[in-house]
Amino acid sequence: MKKLFFKSCLYVVLILITLEIIVRIFHLSKDNPSRFVDEFNVEKWVPNQEGYSVTGNRRQNFSKFYINNSGYNSYREFAPTLNKKELALVGDSFIEGFHQNYYNSIGKKIENKLQDFEVYEYGYAGYDFADQLHLIHAYKETFDKIDYVVLGLKFENDLMRSEYNVVTDRMHLESPLYRNARKIKLLVYTQNIGVLEPLWKLAGRIASIGKKANSNEEKEVTEAEIQYQQNIYVDNFKSLIDKYGFDKTRFILLLNVDVTPQHFLDYLNKNNFEYIDFGNALKQSKKPTTLIYDRHWNNHGREIIANLIAEHIKKSN
């Protein structure tokens, strides 16, 4: 029995070491850049990092990212002036674009279409509308020099807060425990592909022993409850623009009309908020617009988004 136990342990250790080496050699796991909160309380990536973003078990998507001096994934540095024409894209992971080589981003595609514009991509995974407006407000001097600012807005996800605070949960990922765990590439890889999911679920089940079980039954949400929630989101939108400001002459929302409530769209129209709808264009595409195993836009999807923004800016110019 002892022999079985020790030999099994030995094999497990040796196999884990070999797998760690294989994962590193073939770069099967993604690189995780470090994040921080700057002096203006804005959460962003630590400048001047580079690495690779990987999607899928077998590197189905593999792309390089580069974090510039401003702390965002972009091939260019952000240096707006009053003389040049600039466009800023502000948003979450869809704008951040880790799923595409940084030199082939939405911003770059827009620049190819609008020759005289510089495009600055202030994308960061998890940014909601509060993050976006706080960023613009905190870096007012910079953003005042930018001619157009496009803000990505997903109604259901991005309006849950009425004011900005640093998301502490995200910043926990920078704790020494997580930072050290991320050094084990096999761990990152297995976590990303879902192998460790049952382990975390089990840990959760053990942790909840003795506690009152939450009812897992999903309650059917009534129309009135949906309406109530949507009204809260609209109120949050209003609070945020009141607090941080929203320059309607330069700011444009980028949203999907198909998943945005009509009464919010009516509110935007009534109050002269400009917006670009990307839902219809993506829907009409004959080729897939998202990645495999990932709902983020692929190269074709990004091309469509870039086109829409470029066309809108051309018209506004």
Partner 1 sequence: MVFNSLDFFIFLAIVFILYWFLFKKSVKLQNILLLISSYIFYGWWDWRFLSLILLSTIVDYFVGIMIHSSESQSKRKRWLWVSVIFNVGLLGFFKYFNFFVDSWIDMFTMFGYEIKSTWTLQVILPVGISFYTFQTMSYSFDLYYKKLKEPTKDFLSFAAFVSFFPQLVAGPIERASNLLSQITNKRSFSYEQSVSGIKLILWGLFKKVVIADSLAPIVDDIFANYSTYPASTLILGVTMFSFQVYGDFSGYSDIAIGTAKLFGIELMSNFKFPNFSRNVAEYWQRWHVSLSTWFRHYVYIPLGGSRVSKLKSVRNIIIIFLVSGFWHGANWTFIFWGAFHALAFIPVFLMGRNTIYKNSVVGENSIFPSLIEIGQVLLTFSIVTFSRIFFRSESITDAFNFIKRITSNFSYEIYNHPMGYRMIDYYILIGVFILYEYRIRKDERAPFKFKSKIIRFIVYTIVILLMLLFFDSNIDRSFIYFQF
Cβ distance to partner 1 smaller for residue 137 or 182: 182
Between 130 and 291, whose beta carbon lies closer to partner 1?
Answer: 291
Binding mask 121-150 for partner 1 (x = CB under 8 A): ------------------------------
Tell me, residue by residue from 14 to 33, as one string, x for binding to partner 1 by CB under 8 A and - for no binding: xx--xx--x-----------
Q: In this complex, which beta carbon is closest to partner 1, that of residue 3 or of residue 219? A: 3
Least distance to partner 1, CB of residue 137, Å: 40
- When asked if residue 199 is in the footprint of partner 1 (CB under 8 A), the reply is yes
Interface segment toward partner 1; rule CB under 8 A; list 147-155, 194-202, 257-265, 300-308: 194-202
User: Rounded to an integer, what distance in angstroms lies between the CA atom of residue 174 and that of residue 181?
Assistant: 11
**What is the chain's alpha carbon radius of gyration, rounded to the nearest angstrom?**
22
Q: Which of 130, 60, 61, 132 is closest to 96 using CA atoms?
A: 132
Is 157 near partner 1 (CB under 8 A)?
A: no
Q: What are phi and psi of 123, to 5 degrees?
A: -105, 140
Q: Minimum CB separation from partner 1 for residue 202, in Å?
A: 6
Q: Which amino acid is at 200?
A: W
Please report whether residue 3 would count as binding partner 1 according to CB under 8 A.
Answer: yes
Q: Are 131 and 124 in contact (CB under 8 A)?
A: yes
Helices (H), the chain: 2-25, 93-96, 106-113, 129-138, 140-144, 155-158, 168-171, 176-181, 185-193, 197-207, 223-244, 262-270, 279-284, 299-316
102 sits near partner 1 (criterion: CB under 8 A) = no
User: Could you tell me the sign of the dihedral formed by the alpha carbons of 235, 237, 238, 239, in that order?
Assistant: positive
Kindly give, in sequence order, each residue whose CB lies less than 8 Å from that of residue 170, ignoring residues fewer than 6 positions away: 35, 43, 126
Specify the stretch interacting with partner 1 by CB under 8 A; choose among 111-119, 168-176, 190-198, 241-249: 190-198
> Given candidates 1, 25, 207, 209, which one binds partner 1 under the rule CB under 8 A?
1
Closest-CA residue to 181 (of 168, 166, 167, 196): 196
Q: Which is nearer to partner 1, 1 or 224 (CB)?
A: 1
Of 167, 183, 175, 176, which is closest to residue 32 (Cα–Cα)?
183
Mask 217-256, x = binds partner 1 (CB under 8 A)? ----------------------------------------
Determine the distance from the C-alpha atom of residue 298 to the mean position of all C-alpha atoms in its chain, rounded to a whole number: 14
Tell me if 189 contacts partner 1 by CB under 8 A.
Answer: yes
Query: Which residues contact partner 1 by CB under 8 A?
Result: 1, 3-4, 7-8, 11, 14-15, 18-19, 22, 57-58, 60, 189-190, 193-195, 197-199, 202, 288, 292-293
